[in-house]
Amino acid sequence: MASHLGANFDVSIMKTCFTHPVTGSDVFIILDPCHIIKLERNTFGSQKYLIDQDGNQIDWNFLSKLVDTQYSEGLHLGTKITVRHLQFVREKMKVKIATQTLSKSVADALSYLCKDLKLPAFQNAEATAIFIKKFNDVFDIFNSRNKLAKYQFKRPLSPATAEQFFSFFDELSSYIKNLKLGSIPIIQSPRKTGFLGFLICITSLKGLYNAYILENKLKFILTNKLSQDHLELFFGAIRGKGGYNNNPSARHFEAAYKRLLVHTEITGPSSGNISDGNSVTILSCGSGREITATDSGDDLTDSKQYLDFEQDVKNNIPTYISSSSAWDLTDYSENVVGYISGFVVKTMKKCVTCTKCSSALESSEVISTLQRVKQYGKLVKASRFVIQLCTAAEKYFRFFHKTTNIFNKNIHNLLETLKINTIKTLPPEILSHFEHHLFDDDPVDGHAVHLIKLILHHYFKLRIHHETAKNMDLSAKTRVRIVLTKTILFRHE
C-alpha cells in the first residue's frame, strides 16, 4: 500500500513519505515502535544467533545464562528479566515483556558479568550487550514522553538533541544493514520487518524534524505521540468494560463505547458541596490489639512454641557462621548488595532528619562495581557503613532462609526476628562509623541503634519482597488465561 501512495522502502532509496493529495504537504510513515521491538525480540529469541558487522556472535543463550545466574546467586543485577521473559511464545503481544528483555539493565548486566567479573560463562557476551543496548536506546528515542526527561535518549527531539540523535541514527542504520542472520543480511531475510521498521522510523523522524522544527512550526517532538499507544489504550478501555473480552460483539462494543462517553462527560459541579480528589473514610473499625495477639488476647511471641523456635535459631548461629556456605558471599552478591544499599539510602534520606546520621549514610565514592557500570544518572552512593550493614543482613537472611525458610508458617514477626538476630551478628566496630555522635544521646536506645534498625528494616523488606516474587515466578505453572482465553471468558455463557 505504501508503494502505491508513493513511498519506497528499498534500503538503498528509503523514501518514507508521500504527498497529501489536498494540502500538498508530506505525510511521513512511522511504524509503531512497540510492535517493532516485539518483532526484533521474536527474531532474536527464535533464531538464537545473529552476526554483527565485526563477525561477533549475538547469542540469545547469554540471556538464559543471565537468568540462571540471577536465580543461583539469589539476587538480580538490577534487571527485570526472568524465566517468563525467556518463555515469551505465549505472550508475544505483551510489549512489557519485550522491552524488559531488550533493555539497558540487561545490557549492563551482561557487560558487568563479561568485563568486570570475567565469568567464563559470559565470555564474548559483549556483542550481545551492544546489540541489546542499541535497540533499547532507539526504542527510548521513539518513546519519549517527557520534555524534561534526564536520560539522554528519553528526551524529545529538538535542536538541542538533534545532533546527538542523528549521529546515533547513522551509527544504528549502519549496524542494522550489516547484521546477518546466518550468511544472509538481516534486511534481506524473511525476518527483516522489525529491523527495516526502525530504518523507516529513523528516516521519517529526520523528515519531521526538517519539516516542522527547522521551519519553526514546533519547538520539539515527543515521539510517543506518534505511536498507536493512544488507540491501544482506547481498545483496552473497551475490553475492560466487557470483562476484558478481546473479541466483543457489535452490541457489546456499542454498550461499552456509550459507557465510556458517559463516564468522560460527567464532572463534578464547581459550586457544589463536594471537592474533587478528597478521600474521606466513611466507616472504619479497628481491633485495637497487637498483630501478634490471638482472639483470646494471648501474645503469640510469648508462647512456648515461638520461644523454643527462637532459641533454636540463636543456638545454631555460631555453628552455621563457621561451617555454612550461606554466610559466604561471592563477588557477584557483594556488588549487588552494594547496589541495593544505594536504594536503601535513597529511601532513608526521606525519613532521617538528623544531619549527622544522614551524613553517615552517603559516600562521595562509588564502592560497588555494579553501581559504577549502571550509573548513567544520579545514583545514590551508599557509605561503607551502610554496605557493611546490608552485607551482614544479606548473610543472615541467606542463613535463615536456608535453615528455617522465611515462608515457614510458624514464624511470627519475621522482620523483627531477622533484625534482632542480625544485630547480634554485627561486629562491635560497626559503631565506630558514628564517631562522637554515638555519645550525643542514649547509647542503648539512641540514634545509632535506631538508624541500624531502620536500615535493616528497609533492606529486609526488599529481600522478602524479592524472594516472594522469585518463589512465585519459579512455582508458577503455565498461565491459564493466556492458553485458554476464550474458554475462561465464556465458561458460564
Q: Using CA atoms, how far apart are residues 123 and 110, in angstroms rounded to an integer? A: 10
Q: Once rounded to an integer, what is the mean pLDDT over residues 173-192?
A: 94
| pLDDT-based confidence at residue 473 (cuts at 50, 70, 90) | confident
Rg of the chain over Cα atoms, rounded to whole angstroms, equals 28
User: Burial level of 458, CB count in 10 A (0-12/13-18/19+)?
Assistant: buried
**Nearest one of 459, 324, 318 to 391, comparing CA atoms:** 459
Question: Is pLDDT larger for residue 108 or for residue 296?
Answer: 108
C-alpha cell at 27: 505525510
| pLDDT for position 265 | 46
The SS3 of residue 180 is: strand
* Ramachandran angles phi, psi of 318, nearest 5°: -60, -40
- Range in 53-62, 184-193, 312-321 the model is least confident about: 312-321
Question: Is pLDDT larger for residue 60 or for residue 260?
Answer: 60
pLDDT tens per residue, range 367-400: 888 888 877 667 788 888 899 999 999 999 999 9
pLDDT tens per residue, range 316-326: 544 444 334 44
Domain-by-domain residue ranges, the chain? 17-221, 228-256, 302-475
Q: Once rounded to an integer, what is the mean pLDDT over residues 212-230?
A: 90
The H or E element containing residue 419 is helix 414-425
| pLDDT for position 283 | 38
The whole model's pTM is what?
Answer: 0.77
The yes-or-no verdict on residue 310 having pLDDT over 80 is no
Q: Using CA atoms, how far apart are residues 379 and 385, in angstroms rounded to an integer? A: 17
Helix and strand numbers (H, E) in the chain are 20, 6
Q: Once rounded to an integer, what is the mean pLDDT over residues 29-48?
A: 95
C-alpha cell at 275: 471537592
**Nearest one of 114, 137, 116, 117 to 56, comparing CA atoms:** 114
| pLDDT for position 277 | 45
Residue pointed to by grid coordinates 551524613: 359
The yes-or-no verdict on residue 222 having pLDDT over 90 is yes
Query: Which of 17-26, 134-143, 411-420, 467-476 ranks highest by mean pLDDT?
Result: 134-143
**Nearest one of 105, 104, 171, 111 to 140, comparing CA atoms:** 104
C-alpha atoms less than 13 angstroms from C-alpha of 369 in its C-beta half-sphere = 14
Burial per residue of 57-79, b for 16 or more beta-carbon CB atoms within 10 angstroms, e otherwise = ebbbebbebbbebbeeebbbbbb
Q: Using CA atoms, how far apart are residues 452 and 430, in angstroms rounded to an integer? A: 10
